[in-house]
A and B are shown apart, each in its own frame.
Chain A
Amino acid sequence: MVLENQDNRNLWEKIGDFFSANSIWMKWYCTGCGAIELPPTMTSRFDMERLGMGPMATPRQADVLLITGYLSSKTLRRVIYSYEQMQDPKYIVAFGSCTINGGIYYDSYATINQLDKYIPVDLYIAGCMPRPEGIMNAFADLITMIKKGQANGWRHYQENYEWYKQNQLDSLKEVIIHDEFHE
């Protein structure tokens, strides 16, 4: 499915997008190996705070969810949970080839192959793993997309909720998380 790009926002939405683009909170969730390049991106050397971005511990206050690499089906359940907890507007940036087509785990029994079947992805960063420069570049692109009203993944998720839910259930069987104590 292709995310549509036409701009039919009203004035207030444009103003809102302008401001939210300049203060993005990134959710602190290391889902895969690309997360090892996030500390350099966040701290002094690459310093993503100069783009107005900062890390945020809780999903309800966060704007952008980073899928940093491969996703095992066990993690995908939690990712869907925490994605649905986030407030609109929310954006997803997917790292690395694993989220695009499975990468080197194409035949693994535990990892998914195509992320945008389950949750809407606004931006992909290619590479295994993306360098901090690549991540910074992607964040700059994300900001431009939000300002132009092109980062519409969350709206797409609402409109096609049934389709996404069906895909999730087909691959995961159930999204509900059970007791981890197994008792």
Chain B
Amino acid sequence: MMNSMNNIIKQIDDVLTITNSEIITNRQFAIDINSGDVHQSLAYLKSIGFTQLSILTCIDLIANNEFQLIYILNNWELGLFVIVRTIIPRDNPAFVTIINIFPGAKYYEREVHEFFGVTFEGNDSYSKPLLLEIWDDIPPLRKDFDPQVYSDSKFPKRDLDKIYRSKIGGVD
């Protein structure tokens, strides 16, 4: 298994411009790609057997003021996962949709927009609300959003005599 994965990585490395690759387990590996090359890379990966988009998600790297977009593709024939990672700026995050490569990404992009505020040019429904209704704050999965504060301000709590709470790692 390890051999075929190394071969695949080598094959990908020959064709695509990868800034970094990382082997995570013997069944999955991650590649870092410049944001400009993502569409071309995903199309290539799809053509060599990574035919299914398992998930499209985002990580808020607030320390670097960046978002990291994650595309996880699945190759059923070989039983391999590839994690495609790319960095986009955190201020005015914008990216281009991949629904012409993976149509199933439509709702994932809508979700990423709702949770992180990343816009996807070319996906005509990305800005519609999906899971939340009448949302009036910054996108909730950003690291600088505090759900406790939001919950306290919106939803009244029952008055209890004593609230037990542990302090771990400086966070209540």
Contacts and interface: CB of A to CB of B under 8 A. Distances in A.
Contacts of B134: 172-174
B144 interface: no
A113 B158 contact: yes
B151 interface: yes
A31 to B, nearest CB: 15
A109 B151 contact: yes
Interface string B111-153: 0000000000000010011011110110010000101101100
A106 B151 contact: yes
Contacts of B125: 182
Contacts of A77: 133
A74 B155 contact: no
B132 A110 contact: yes
Contact of A114 (B129, B137, B145, B157): B157
Interface residues on A, range: 20 to 34
A112 B98 CA distance: 36
Given A74-B132, A182-B128, A182-B129, A171 B147 contact: no
A8 interface: no
B167 interface: no
Contacts of A171: 154-156
B131 to A, nearest CB: 8
A64 B159 CA distance: 27
B102 to A, nearest CB: 23
Given A77-B133, A108-B147, A172-B134, A114 B158 contact: yes
Contacts, number: 55
A107 B146 CA distance: 9
A77 B137 CA distance: 19
B157 A113 contact: yes
Contacts of A101: 157-158, 160
A113 B132 contact: no
A173 B156 CA distance: 14
Residue among A106, A114, A117, A172 facing the most chain B CB atoms (10 A cut-off): A106
Interface string B1-38: 00000000000000000000000000000000000000
A101 B159 CA distance: 9
A77 B157 CA distance: 19
12 contacts: A73-B155, A102-B151, A106-B151, A109-B151, A110-B132, A112-B155, A113-B157, A114-B157, A114-B158, A171-B156, A172-B134, A182-B129
Interface of A: 73-74, 77, 100-102, 106-114, 117, 167, 170-174, 182
Given A109-B151, A171-B156, 7 more contacts: A73-B154, A101-B157, A109-B150, A110-B131, A114-B157, A173-B134, A182-B128
7 closest residue pairs by CB, A with B: A109-B147, A182-B128, A107-B148, A74-B133, A109-B150, A113-B155, A101-B158
